[in-house]
Amino acid sequence: MNGILVQIYEIQTRAEAERLVALGVDRIGSVLTSETDWKHPAIRETLDYVARTPARSSLIPLFNTPDAVFRALAYYRPYMVHFCETLADENGISGICGDLIKLQKSVKGKFPDIRIMRSIPIARPGKGNRVPSLELARMFEPVSDFFLTDTLILAESDKPSSEQQQPVSGFVGITGKTCDWDVAAALVRTSRIPVILAGGLGPENVADGIARTAPAGVDSCTETNAVDGNGRPIRFRKDMEKVRRFVAAARNCGGGVQGN
Ligand SMILES: O=C(O)c1ccccc1NCC(=O)[C@H](O)[C@H](O)COP(=O)(O)O
């Protein structure tokens, strides 16, 4: 048994959050998919419910216009806001990073009680050196409370940019694929803030991921989702048995360190 944090996305209803709390999940993540259609009483009810339990909420806005982010944080009041922009590709660091660092600083100023998680893009195994993940971490560390590793799909040479290769264009995540764990381990070793390992984790590989990278926590979305008749993950619907096995595997692997 260890003190590793277990975080599960994407939870949009109180009913699913109740089941995750009962399974011992520490962090329950919800997502706002649209800047214009951002106000969802059912999602707020989910976060309000989580606030009354030992678990903590995390909220991803899939937009970054400052006023829209501030409006959403004032309405939902999450324990943590989680930013997931791609930040880089094989051509280097994106020009948007300066504005995103400014945004995170403003969030810290306006909402000092809300923690900030920043996803750090890491390429697929064996390709980690093609993305400046550790450099990005150094840039964002002063304005972040947690990092989350996530898998960046690089573009093949004849395809449009990496940004457009992600499941949600411009954002890193929900690929169902692992990242380069050597880079994730280097991030854990060199980071002053806790690192959550994510990207393609499920009940079968989470113990390996912990053993290889020694993170403060682990995160899962795709590999703990329910699947359709063709075996494809269904977004926004969890398979509670997979979540139960994920929590058990993470807790019993003997690795990990205590985060907060
Ligand atoms: O959850 C989303 O809708 C989302 C969309 C775009 C970028 C990131 C997003 N979620 C980020 C998460 O933290 C997921 O839990 C993470 O990507 C996990 O990856 P995976 O287990 O491979 O789905």
Q: What residue has token string 């504005």?
A: 99
pLDDT in tens, 138-168: 999 999 999 999 999 998 776 667 777 899 9
Best of 9, 118, 220 for a ligand 1 pocket test (most atoms within 8 Å of beta carbon): 9
Rounded to whole angstroms, the Cα distance separating 126 from 35 reads 35
- Which amino acid would we find at residue 224? T
Q: Is the pLDDT of residue 91 over 90?
A: no
How buried is 84 (Cβ within 10 angstroms: 0-12 exposed, 13-18 middle, 19+ buried)?
buried
Residue 235 Cα: closest atom of ligand 1: 3
Does residue 144's CB lie within 6 angstroms of at least one atom of ligand 1? Answer: no
pLDDT in tens, 12-23: 999 999 999 999
Q: pLDDT band at 257, cuts 50/70/90?
A: very low
| Ordered structural domains, the chain, with CATH | 5-252 (3.20.20.70)
Q: Is the pLDDT of residue 249 over 50?
A: yes
Rounded to whole angstroms, the Cα distance separating 102 from 87 reads 14
CA 221–ligand 1 middle distance (angstroms):
6
Kindly state the average pLDDT of the residues 58-81: 98
Q: Where are the alpha helices (DSSP H) in 66-180?
A: 66-76, 97-110, 133-140
Does residue 60's CB lie within 6 angstroms of at least one atom of ligand 1? Answer: yes
Q: Is the pLDDT of residue 39 over 60?
A: yes
Kindly state the average pLDDT of the residues 228-257: 90
Residue 200 Cα: closest atom of ligand 1: 22
The model's pTM = 0.95
- Which amino acid would we find at residue 182? D
Q: What residue has token string 């403003």?
A: 106
Q: What pLDDT, on the 0 to 100 scale, is given for residue 256?
A: 47
pLDDT in tens, 211-221: 999 999 999 99
The CA R_g of the chain, rounded to the nearest whole Å, is 17
Token pair of 144 as six digits: 């972040």
Q: Are 4 and 251 within 8 A, CB to CB?
A: yes
Does residue 85's CB lie within 6 angstroms of at least one atom of ligand 1? Answer: no
Q: What pLDDT, on the 0 to 100 scale, is given for residue 162?
A: 78
